[in-house]
Structure 1
Amino acid sequence: MKPLALALAAGAAIASVAATAHADAKPIKIGIVTFMSGAAAGPFGVPAKNAAEVTAAELNAGKVPAPYATKGFGGAPIELVYIDEAGSTSKQVSEYRNLLNQGVDYVVGYTSSGNCLAIAPVAEEMKKVTLFFDCGTPRVFEDASFKYVFRPVATATMDNVGAARYVAERKPDLQTYAGINQNYAWGQDAWADFEGTLKALKPNAKAVSSQMPQLGAGQYNAGISSLLAAHPDVLHSSFWGGDLEGLVVQAGPRDLFKKSLTVLTAGETATHGKTRLPDGVIIGARGMYGMFAPDNALNRWLRTAYSAKFNDTPSYPSYKMNQSILALKAAYEKAQAANGGKQPAPEQVIASFEHLAFDAPAGKIGLTLGKGHQAAQGTAFGVVKNVNGKVTVTDVKQYSIAEVTPPEGVKSAEWIKGGLKH
């Protein structure tokens, strides 16, 4: 792979070629899949959909900062087609096929790790370039190889290794820990990575409880009771969306988060809306998103454009949807430049996408894993502090890619078991 800076330097040339595209170019139709109904819609799916909407509108208007100033994709306008991710994995496979029947050129979507594992082989079968914008399981590219599938955001290994590092540093005398995670690929992987990392960092500490309710269970009081009885020094949860909101509401009156140092790897979304996290809870945003995002031109643009349209600040699902669309634009225009300014074929876009380096509100991103199909990122964690009715974070600690991500060709579980070495 070329150095990141060299790859990004090609942006000016790409923009120059793209600017020559005809104003009447055929629209690029993108299928957007996220939760638009059910418990995950409010805290997760709607912010992601909103980000897709504002990103497409701003790109079409040519209002996005460099290196994305060219209108649309290489001068071609973007059209979005939305599909609801709610429902079973079999339903999502059917919806995916239906989406392709509507003539979409690309697909960007999927929050559920189970859905990503089910959709990836179908994307290969249908030969449709598909981007996973959020699902976290590392199994997608660690257990298989795909030509048409890309994930321009990080895996959940980053979240849980980072969380374990943070609590180990914040509570050096920790002796016991526990978890409450959803009983499917996402939650299972999250707990395994967190526990495995603590075994490497704190070999004398012991897991005293692991609660695994079903995704969307809604009621968590039995698990909360078990955790209170176990009284761990540290509590880990990768709950997200409506499940996270339910856990916060039910755990609050019972002081679960006050009796154990709690880390919520996807907790940033709970700082939006009516749900309020108590002081002292550790949260992550699944990358350098939201309150952890760097101060750069793209981040300032996204926050301003999103807030102007929706009267709210973008949460991490918004950032990840935006990042994925920008990655697709970068790959498309790189392929377009190599094709003499003409619309690139899917095979050309794939060639440009592999090992892509691109800019995002979260900073510079590189697809350095999964044979060039999987992004690697650093992350951050901080401690919630409510100030005058606003949620802030203190004691923010950033972790580099090398600290939270395995090297190329090494599975996450093997890397963690081997002592997190590079």
Structure 2
Amino acid sequence: MIGTGYVGLTTGACLASLGHSVVCADADPHKVERLGGARVDILEPGLPETVRDALAAGRLEFTGDTAGAVAEAEVVFLCLPTPMGAGGAADLAAVEAVAGVIRDVLPPGCVVVNKSTVPVGTCARVAALLGRADVTVVSNPEFLREGRAVHDFLHPDRIVIGSADPAAARRVAGLYAALDAPLVLTDPASAELTKYAANFFLAMKLSFANNLATLCERFGADIDDVTEGIGRDPRIGPAFLRPGPGWGGSCLPKDTHALLTVCDRSGIDFPLLSATIETNVTHQHRLVARVAASCGRGTDGSLHGLRLALYGLTFKAGTSDLRDSPALAVARLLRERGAGLTAYDPALCEERPDLSDLVDVVADPVRAAEGAAACLVLTEWPELRDLDWAAIAARMTGHEVHDFRNLLDADLLARAGLSWRGIGRPAAPAPVA
């Protein structure tokens, strides 16, 4: 397993839990040392226990020696970052660099598996870089949700394997034999495109839900009732229909942009894809404009001189991941209008110097509201429902709570003297005097 991020560490630890012998290689010696001591820095339910148990059973080890790790491997998984590069294309530098490192040390008959999300044609690209007729490259995209990665690995809804070599595909499929899941065996290009298509479709549903919420506000409808009504149609389904402050995270933004770049380079017009991305950005601007209209100073939408309290910075609850977080995207737009920002997030229990130019992170949710003209809920942490909202109201200079996750109880806030406004929901009762 080359790479110990969310995908590599989860895949390695879970394969070890299924009885396989796994060596995880990473270029970061500090990370290797900590993982070798069963210290997992990723906030992911069940992952620390899975790593600890696999280490104790002797089926999992960590090393900084990538070449040594693959020297006796039967299957090598590439779990490497493929971030958004120039023009939105996926940056394959890490994948290509590792291919050069392992090319001459791979055992004959070894199977190399692309687990990273990569553009169509990457299997062929890696095979060419390896230049080994005795080594097969297979695509096996991951479908892990942060916050549920271990569960998703052990209870997959499908396993997709793309290979031109049926024997190699069967070898990779055998690694998952203990799991009860449908198996999709296909060619490499189809497997690679499946991952991008899935993430694009999910992003499209989220953009749809956010636009639908705007429509509900305009006509006095309730987004919760509307999405329940359409989500019970099995052709649509309820997943990814909850409105929020936009979509983000480590996958959807980079994968939708990468797919759009592939379309542009191939001369394929895909307006639905570009509209999905544009809608997400427009939605975030609309939410910030709403905050400025309700508590800003002047007609230009300025927030200069105002402080706002943000509750939640991670891209979703259950993770400490800030990559392409929609909460941070909204925070940047608020800063552009001049607002001072203080934030509380249950996953960020200490100051974050890397965010100091954008927001002051505090460990006390009440302190976050000190001098705030309004509060914004940006991540759907369940524990935010149980905060001492009366104490928070006492620290604020204003009384508005913009709940961009439709998470809080409007009546409870009203009793605390706060006015609640969600997305796509009817107006809340006035605060109790």
Using structure 1 for the length normalisation, give the TM-score.
0.33
Structure having the higher Rg: 2
With CA pairs under 8 Å and 6+ residues apart, which has the higher RCO, 1 or 2? 1
Using structure 2 for the length normalisation, give the TM-score.
0.32
| Bigger fraction of residues in strand | 1
